[in-house]
Structure 1
């Protein structure tokens, strides 16, 4: 008797994973072979499983609106009282990752053809407002006929949806863009970056950035990989500029669209100075290509309609003339044969095939050897670290982590760590960095996660923040009464405790929609020299000056205060402006203050607002 799910017949299991099962299915009405992915419906109080189900539905919504030869099709979504399921196109082939893991390499023309299929699918997707966000070889299918298909839209972002917010880090570290690591809202250009990483790997046999999460994040944000032609003399030099542009740190420096990327790649191929690729490469091994989803405590608030940044626009795909296409033939590819977790991964993507579970051959018997016992010399205990060495190691390891503003105390016992760190990847990077410290230096952490697009603001002031505060030289910033959460119509009242030097304050309020409000100075509360050691209260009507109340949109906001010996700006800033306009000016002003030897201190706190 054939098992059924709705109108579909379940023929056999293709693979099982932690979240569910994938079947080869059949539609008896239209006689179509299918792949059917299922997950169990979670309990209502299981928040993590509910998020997995939301991503499962998002995959159906994202891929279901896309019908293109280079995208694995989704035909149906359904639920029973026990499970949810997606009905997909059955892809008879394998993944690009599986081919690379077998150390198979492609000639240059074949690389261009694969990338052209990928970019054509992405252009179609982007034109319809769907951003994949997890482009990597494991999500690229190759059919037996050599066709390229993009799979797994499980963490895709639909531009009209609020299901995915800034402050959440999603993706696979080796292929993630800088803005993904920073937990910022992404657009189509993040797929351009990931595709550039994949092109780099196809050309060289190596990923541009390797290591653990913290190491990869640091490299992605701060370093440039060697150009592909530097790793293999058989890589055309013309490809270097294409790869580097696709992988530019700033989204605005990348190709404006997938089709622009594809056209540049084909033009470079036409002007190549060498043919083919080296057919040898380093062993890939287990590259840890699991998709990461690291979220903050709660999503950042959606921006109001009037303040929502415009989505990136990409021109419609233009079919290139036949003469511009590589002439490499479509080489048939073998069906994947994997075991264990690898089989489950391929099956999740709708791959057919058999599963190789082991080998029947037995090794020859080995003659036992009697061990010789040797006395073990006692290892002397390491000398205790000096206070200076402890401070140096803590500072070197933790003080410069991106998207953080941290402070520490250490009195010879267990250090204390406090401050704020961006939710998602920055927080994960902090945890990884702390884990690298020796046990005697593992700090007690009270660092608070910060949801929202505030990494640029934290990065702007962090170089001027003392990780170990100098006595009397630290600016104190807090809400009056110690509140960390305010509600609709509450007064926003904060206090700045001046350090032991007189200075000029600049206090700014950043919101999740990209606006910064300048709380001090203002036209009604002009800039004045604040005496050393005093407390300046802002927002209290009884003390004069401006006052502010909490209103929608609600969420997590960031307040920054800066004190300098001389005025930070030569003239007062507008009452409110875009953070993207203000932060470059702030960086320049801080650099000028530091270069002229001014006393300087910065502080930041987060404020949660609710209805």
Structure 2
């Protein structure tokens, strides 16, 4: 842990940091009295005198108040709230798993059956929340947890509205643009049907792999208020038209045209799925699809293993019925079959995990290792991880990666470093899916693949944008802790860049940089975002003390806007000669 991390918070032991953000840190903790692992979410109190800090603390307390009154298998539980001189903290259920956003950003796609099953579980949690007077107001993939065993849990009630509370008022626009309802954009009074709308957007994304509305906040607002997205079945041939009507009603512009409640939404999904299954049955008989269980049966079967288990189970049942029929109703005059020699039948090999499952296991294994920024590929022949890692975490990363997916080999091509970079990497790594598809990656390198530059040599950076239009920022971080903005610069001002655009920075005389003292192992950080980036607006240089809080605040703001973010970093050695 960092030197300023607490060893305890109240009665809870602090085990290790799980993630760091602009507001504070989330720790893994341990309750020694009832011997239970917990997650402890903190926010710093030294900012509460500032307007923005006071709002952060207000939302933090609201999260404890809202989620603390909810106990449901599909909601992340909140156990306790406390404050020290330096921190306020919420003690929560420890969830081993990933956010739905992480899975979607990584490229995971879900069958319609899995999407419907996930939504049924989520809607069970939403219905319970509404029954208890809590409107979430920010339902989105980042606030939906998928546990290791497939359970769905709704998290982060930081902007929730509580019916008995006057903490939020009409006229305030709160939420994440891509998932906000029309009434949220217009600042109108909201009710539980705004969660129905956001859940409809999430269902659309699960079925199609795309958000219904994207672009700038202004563009999204215009589309939400005035246009209809293409029906899911038009974007995916696996989606039954019956589901289009469910999505359309959930995302109706007027609240009164939506489902009256989450249970009605879930029932409509079940009815649409049954209709689709009946239509399929008239064409060809197919094995029953595995289903996810809702609140009373929360376990979710993995897609591939569940399918194999379902087929095997059906075969066993059929065999049992056949045996029962033979023993109970033998043919009255049937001749005994001739005896034959027993023939050994080959045993089918155990099914191998899919590449998606292996990718998930490897990503989960390396995710807790801090001070890293990684990219990986995986194939039937093995996996490869590339990136940078602090020397203090190198052994832990090697162990976690190489033991994650036996018997497949894992090849590591990592650049270790010492230097003041761990805080930067921990701030950006949450938005760096370790297994993003190549077109979705932000690619960063020095010209000619250089890794070592001498005094006076020019720093020329090659940057290739991901497959979405957006903005970029490139910063040079010296081992001394000094920060220099490479792009945008006076010579190359910020601009909206086309998807997959290739930039060569530092090549022209107007915007060039040469290596000078102090020498050491330095780092270059690049950020691409679908929304404008504004980390250090007043200066093109600074130091880590100013840069890191600004970086965290910028990333938090981009996340709040629902922006798509990609990051990349490289290390290079600078030497006198």
Is 1:360 aligned to residue 413 of structure 2? yes
Give 2:261's match in structure 1, choosing from 239, 243, 257.
257
User: 2: CA distance between counterparts of 1:342 and 1:172?
Assistant: 28
Matches of 2:86 and 2:159 in 1, distance apart? 23
For 1:463-542, list aligned pairs within 5 A: none
Q: 1:42 to 1:226 in 2, by over 3 A?
A: same
CA change 1:167–1:341 in 2 (3 A) is farther
CA 1:180–1:328 in 2, change beyond 3 Å: closer, same or farther? same
Residue 190 in structure 1 maps to residue 206 in structure 2:
no
Residues 30-109 of structure 1 aligned to structure 2 (within 5 Å)? 30-42=34-46, 45-109=49-113
In structure 2, the CA distance between the partners of 1:40 and 1:225, relative to structure 1 (3 Å rule), is same
Distance 1:228 1:150 in 2: 24
Deviations 1:378-416 (A, max 9, x none): xxxxxxxxxxxxxxxxxxxxxxxxxxxxxxxxxxxxxxx
Distance in 2 (CA, whole Å) between partners of 1:181 and 1:230 is 27
> Aligned pair 1:219/2:301, yes or no?
no
- Which residue number corresponds to residue 513 of structure 1? none
Q: Secondary structure at the match of 1:171?
A: coil
For residue 364 of structure 1, report the CA deviation from its aligned partner. 11
1: CA distance, partners of 2:9 / 2:449: 56
Task: Give the aligned CA root-mean-square deviation in angstroms.
Answer: 3.5
Task: Name the residue aligned to 1:175.
Answer: 179
257 and 11 in structure 1: CA distance in 2 versus 1, 3 angstrom threshold: same
Query: What CA distance in whole angstroms lies between the structure 2 residues aligned with 1:127 and 1:342?
Result: 42
Which gives a bigger RCO, structure 1 or 2 (Cα 8 Å, sep 6+)? Answer: 1
- CA distance in structure 2 between the aligned counterparts of 1:42 and 1:367, rounded to whole angstroms: 44
* 1:105-184 to 2 correspondences below 5 Å: 105-184=109-188
Contact 1:109 1:328 in 2 (8 A): no
CA distance in 2, matches of 1:75, 1:98: 25
SS in structure 1 at match of 2:173? strand
Q: Secondary structure at the match of 2:188?
A: coil
Alpha carbons of structure 1 residues 126 and 356: separation in structure 2 relative to 1, 3 Å:
farther
How much does 1:112 deviate? 1.1
- Supply the distance in 2 between the matched residues of 1:154 and 1:364 (Cα, whole angstroms): 42
TM superposition shift of 1:42? 3.8
In the TM superposition, residue 47 of structure 1 has moved relative to its aligned partner by: 1.9
Instruction: Give TM-score scaled by structure 1 length.
Output: 0.48
d(CA) in 2 for partners of 1:236 and 1:326?
22
After superposition, give the CA deviation of every residue in 1:571-591 in whole Å (9 maximum; x if it has no partner). xxxxxxxxxxxxxxxxxxxxx
Residue in structure 1 matched with residue 11 of structure 2 by the alignment: 7
Shift in CA distance, 63/202, structure 1 to aligned 2, threshold 3 Å: same
More displaced stretch, 328-337 vs 71-80: 328-337
CA distance in 2, matches of 1:249, 1:41: 40
- 1:15 match: secondary structure: strand
Q: Secondary structure at the match of 2:15?
A: strand
Separation of aligned partners in 2, 1:365 and 1:45 = 47
- Deviation track 1:206-239 (CA, whole Å, cap 9, x = no partner) reads 1100110010000000000111111122211110
Task: Show structure 1 runs of 5+ residues with no match.
Answer: 276-318, 345-354, 371-431, 433-611
C-alpha contact (below 8 Å) 2:14/2:27 kept by paired residues = yes
Which of the pair has more CA radius of gyration? 1
Distance 1:264 1:330 in 2: 27
Once the 2 structures are TM-superposed, how far is the Cα of residue 360 of structure 1 from its aligned partner?
A: 3.4
Runs of 4+ aligned structure 1 residues displaced above 6 Å come to 319-322, 325-332, 339-344, 362-365
Instruction: Report if aligned partners of 1:145, 1:330 keep a CA contact under 8 Å in 2.
Output: no
Unaligned ranges ≥5, structure 2 = 281-293, 307-356, 374-385, 390-411, 416-444, 451-457, 459-531, 533-577
**In 1, Cα distance between equivalents of 2:370 and 2:169:** 30
Q: How does 1:359-508 map to 2 (within 5 A)?
A: 360-361=413-414, 366=448
* Cα deviations by residue, 1:342-390 (Å, 9 ceiling, x for unpaired): 999xxxxxxxxxx98557358899399x9xxxxxxxxxxxxxxxxxxxx
Q: CA deviation at 1:40?
A: 1.0
Secondary structure at 2:276's aligned position in 1?
Answer: coil
Instruction: For residue 106 of structure 1, give the secondary structure of its aligned residue in structure 2.
Output: coil
Deviation of 1:45 after TM superposition, in Å, equals 3.5
Superposition TM-score, scaled by structure 2 size: 0.51
The number of residue pairs the alignment matches comes to: 317
Which has more helix, going by share of residues? 2
Measure the CA separation in 2 of the matches of 1:162 and 1:147. 33
Match of 1:246 among 250, 274, 280: 250
Distance 1:37 1:253, change over 3 A: same
